[in-house]
Amino acid sequence: MDIATFIGLVVGLGGLAGGFLLEGAHLSSLWGYTAFIIVFGGTIGATVVSYTMEELRKVPFFVKVVFGEKKIDYFSVMETLVETADKARREGLLSLESQLGEIDNEFLSRGLQLVIDGTDPELTRSMLEMEIEAHE
């Protein structure tokens, strides 16, 4: 889990508990099912109102991304790069198109698709750098 996710959870829960205490209530009141329904029901309702169904269907994926471990098999990525570079050198860039479906790493697959499509190298680099920055 990313440290920002942890900090966000602590700040959110701390704000909820702090506001509750400032109003003179006891924290034990937050542990009842009524408080749970109010807090989480309201949060889920506000979220559903704010997004389209198409976006909401992506929530399980993003929950896995946020709370899951980001394990990248660098050896596998390196092996794929070497194989594709060798194939491109021997058979040409267009020969890589049939191999795109077999590549598990989406970032690498998108980068190769840009190269196969003949996108300007500087534009390809810029697009991939923007994607990296967006995920950091």
CA-based nearest residue to 129, from 114, 118, 117, 69? 114
The model's pLDDT over 26-60, given as tens digits with 9 standing for 90+, comes to 777 777 788 788 888 998 999 889 888 888 888 88
The model's pLDDT over 74-109, given as tens digits with 9 standing for 90+, comes to 888 888 889 888 988 999 888 888 888 888 888 888
pTM (two decimals): 0.48
Tell me the residue length of the chain.
136
DSSP code, position 28: G
The model's pLDDT over 7-27, given as tens digits with 9 standing for 90+, comes to 888 998 888 888 878 888 777
The domain spans of the chain are 3-67, 74-135
Helix (H) or strand (E) holding 80: helix 74-91
* pLDDT value of position 1: 60
Q: Side chain identity at 87, as an amino acid letter?
A: K
